A and B are shown apart, each in its own frame.
Chain A
């Protein structure tokens, strides 16, 4: 297989742009590599074909129309690229635009500050009603609001039982409207519900009600050095991460996707993973074209996947044979599969495998969403978490043999597979019912 550098030298050889040393190097390569000779022959033939394309002939003289256009539009040399501006305008122009941009930013900043400052300084309705009795009434009128007797006592009582002891009871009942509104809530709550916030808390909630905070799951990607997977801490970290969900997307950035895929193939052979290669992917691998690939695996345990990735790292190290420049894979980036990733997976395969069960699902009723820790514990008892070894539980008869791990390989960039191709159909038909605590992974080999 010719390296990218050799291919580049061959194209430069076709162009006649090699130094004498490089020419000697290519000469030696050509004498021993039929593959290089074949590629060179093809490239030379293509260049020759381009050179021999018939030369188009300009049938009209363009000088006439061009000079006419110049005269009609009154064009002059020096009009086009640098618009003539006065010396003042030349520096005033940029200065004006910067000043305008700064002014807009300043106005926006001030407006935001005033808005938020006003919203935080403005007391809420509750506070206003609470403060009212403390302020001296200039008119001498006792109360503007309805008297407390007009309000039902029951909810109010519940409210004040739970409110802070610092607040005077008489102050709190001055606003019939607000207090009734607030006090109505506790009566509706059951015993398991959180306690009603105090008045201070209520006031704070009123102020902050514009900020609706939601709890979001921890979905930050995890980055692990592939070579580190040969050590226990990194392995454990990856396995623990893979046990947190059932669907993942893993990116393996590499220097050359096609070269890196050779390592994947070797790892798959070692661990008895069966690769089903899409036709376009096969072509691109055969022709050694730089391509990104996407691998879809399912029904693998976190341990099996970790072993697979670890083995890819091992094969990479072996193939590089100590030369850092030949190493293709460095780190892996793991994220949980998002809705968008699922959509992408459906587009690639033509169906959503995460929602479409395999044909023989009914035969084995194993919940793939079962807590991974359960099955890991079982595995631990049996002392086996090696490559291809599944948990030997009661459903072990239905477990796939190591060689039955199917991996669908599709081109990812610059070409995409045709959904519903023979290989995709084969993969979907040969899918096995999900084992316990297994995961699905979309593994992207990008380089």
Chain B
């Protein structure tokens, strides 16, 4: 736990909102990266990160310092993103029922068209992103945390507040499901 984080938190609790601004600037980029992979859309990711920071600010007196401030913040952001995705899924299902099959939103159209990327690599990226987007929020979360954030099982268990065994089995299922989806998309092409 960074002493600087603790000092800033104490200042926030005394009513210095500027101190919270420092914390936001310190962690917004890392949070945004993870949340973006969970919600698949830049605007939504920004909204979720903002909501997560506001929730954290309002819950700041509940932070006991047992874990890193970022871990605590990350937990709030992941929960916000998961509930956002669940709501979005319900809406998508309702839209699909009304309008038929809903086309999948391209996650990051700019990436596929970058000139330095070979066509094959861009296609592979698109496939991986689309497969990731099709996973359930729980499975996607563990893959993002493990493969993109490089977090250990212990940290993941702490963030998601589940036993390590659950993380292990969830990751196992997520990897197999991702493999299945990738194989299917490869077969289609």
Chains A and B bind each other: yes
Interface residues of A (CB under 8 A from B): 7-8, 11-12, 14-15, 17, 42-43, 46-47, 49-56, 58, 60-63, 65-67, 69-71, 75-82, 287, 289
Whether B46 pairs with A58 at a CB distance below 8 angstroms is: yes
Whether B58 pairs with A50 at a CB distance below 8 angstroms is: no
Whether B129 pairs with A53 at a CB distance below 8 angstroms is: yes
Interface size class of B (residues with CB under 8 A): 35 or more
Whether A50 pairs with B124 at a CB distance below 8 angstroms is: no
Whether A15 pairs with B146 at a CB distance below 8 angstroms is: yes
Known A14-B175, A50-B147: A69·B46 in contact at CB below 8 Å:
no
Whether A56 pairs with B108 at a CB distance below 8 angstroms is: yes
Q: 19 interchain pairs (CB within 8 A)? A: A15-B171, A43-B179, A46-B128, A49-B125, A50-B128, A53-B148, A58-B33, A62-B28, A63-B28, A66-B21, A66-B53, A70-B57, A71-B17, A75-B54, A75-B57, A77-B60, A78-B61, A81-B62, A287-B180
Whether A50 pairs with B17 at a CB distance below 8 angstroms is: no
Whether A66 pairs with B24 at a CB distance below 8 angstroms is: yes
**Top 5 A-B pairs, shortest CB-CB distance:** A80-B58, A78-B61, A77-B60, A50-B147, A63-B24
Q: Is B162 an interface residue (CB 8 A)?
A: no
Cα A81 to Cα B54 in complex, Å, equals 12
Known A50-B148, A63-B28, A78-B62: A69·B175 in contact at CB below 8 Å:
no
With a 10 A CB-CB cut-off, give which of A62, A70, A78 has the most chain B CB atoms: A62
In the complex, how many residue pairs between chain A and chain B have their CB atoms under 8 Å apart? 130
Other-chain contact of B168, A8, A58, A63, A66 (Cβ < 8 Å): A8
Nearest Cβ on chain B to A447's Cβ, whole angstroms: 15
- Nearest residue (CB) in A for B29 is A58
Whether A78 pairs with B60 at a CB distance below 8 angstroms is: yes
Whether A65 pairs with B128 at a CB distance below 8 angstroms is: no
A58 contact set on B, CB distance < 8 A: 28-29, 32-33, 46
B12 contact set on A, CB distance < 8 A: 77
Other-chain contact of A66, B54, B62, B129, B180 (Cβ < 8 Å): B54
Q: Which of B21-41 contact A (CB under 8 A)?
A: 21-22, 24-25, 28-29, 32-33, 36-37
- From DSSP, what is the main secondary structure of chain B's interface residues? helix
Q: Which of B140-179 contact A (CB under 8 A)?
A: 143-144, 146-148, 152-153, 168-169, 171-172, 175-176, 178-179
- Nearest residue (CB) in A for B132 is A50
- Nearest residue (CB) in A for B26 is A63
A11-B168, A14-B175, A46-B178 known, 6 other contacts, Cβ within 8 Å: A15-B171, A17-B152, A17-B168, A62-B24, A77-B58, A81-B58
Other-chain contact of B55, A11, A15, A61, A80 (Cβ < 8 Å): A80
Nearest Cβ on chain B to A75's Cβ, whole angstroms: 6
Whether A62 pairs with B125 at a CB distance below 8 angstroms is: no
Cα A82 to Cα B62 in complex, Å, equals 9
Whether B143 pairs with A50 at a CB distance below 8 angstroms is: yes
Whether A54 pairs with B61 at a CB distance below 8 angstroms is: no
Whether B58 pairs with A69 at a CB distance below 8 angstroms is: no
Q: Is B73 an interface residue (CB 8 A)?
A: no
- Nearest residue (CB) in A for B171 is A11
Cα A80 to Cα B62 in complex, Å, equals 10
Whether A67 pairs with B124 at a CB distance below 8 angstroms is: no
Cα A408 to Cα B21 in complex, Å, equals 63
Other-chain contact of A77, B53, B57, B148 (Cβ < 8 Å): B57
Nearest Cβ on chain A to B49's Cβ, whole angstroms: 6
Nearest Cβ on chain A to B116's Cβ, whole angstroms: 10
Cα A42 to Cα B111 in complex, Å, equals 24
Known A65-B50, A67-B21: A54·B108 in contact at CB below 8 Å:
yes
A65 contact set on B, CB distance < 8 A: 50
Whether A289 pairs with B176 at a CB distance below 8 angstroms is: yes
Known A70-B54, A78-B58: A56·B45 in contact at CB below 8 Å:
yes
Cα A52 to Cα B28 in complex, Å, equals 21
B18 contact set on A, CB distance < 8 A: 67
Whether B60 pairs with A62 at a CB distance below 8 angstroms is: no
Whether B180 pairs with A67 at a CB distance below 8 angstroms is: no
Whether A46 pairs with B179 at a CB distance below 8 angstroms is: yes
A60 contact set on B, CB distance < 8 A: 46
B175 contact set on A, CB distance < 8 A: 11, 14, 43, 46-47
- Nearest residue (CB) in B for A15 is B146
B108 contact set on A, CB distance < 8 A: 54, 56
B111 contact set on A, CB distance < 8 A: 54
Cα A230 to Cα B129 in complex, Å, equals 52
- Nearest residue (CB) in B for A414 is B177
Cα A196 to Cα B106 in complex, Å, equals 77
Cα A15 to Cα B153 in complex, Å, equals 9
Nearest Cβ on chain B to A16's Cβ, whole angstroms: 9
Nearest Cβ on chain A to B18's Cβ, whole angstroms: 7
Whether A76 pairs with B58 at a CB distance below 8 angstroms is: yes
Nearest Cβ on chain B to A56's Cβ, whole angstroms: 4
B62 contact set on A, CB distance < 8 A: 78, 81-82
With a 10 A CB-CB cut-off, give which of A7, A11, A69, A75 has the most chain B CB atoms: A11
Cα A14 to Cα B168 in complex, Å, equals 11
Cα A54 to Cα B111 in complex, Å, equals 7
Cα A81 to Cα B132 in complex, Å, equals 32
Whether B172 pairs with A7 at a CB distance below 8 angstroms is: yes
A66 contact set on B, CB distance < 8 A: 20-21, 24, 50, 53-54, 57
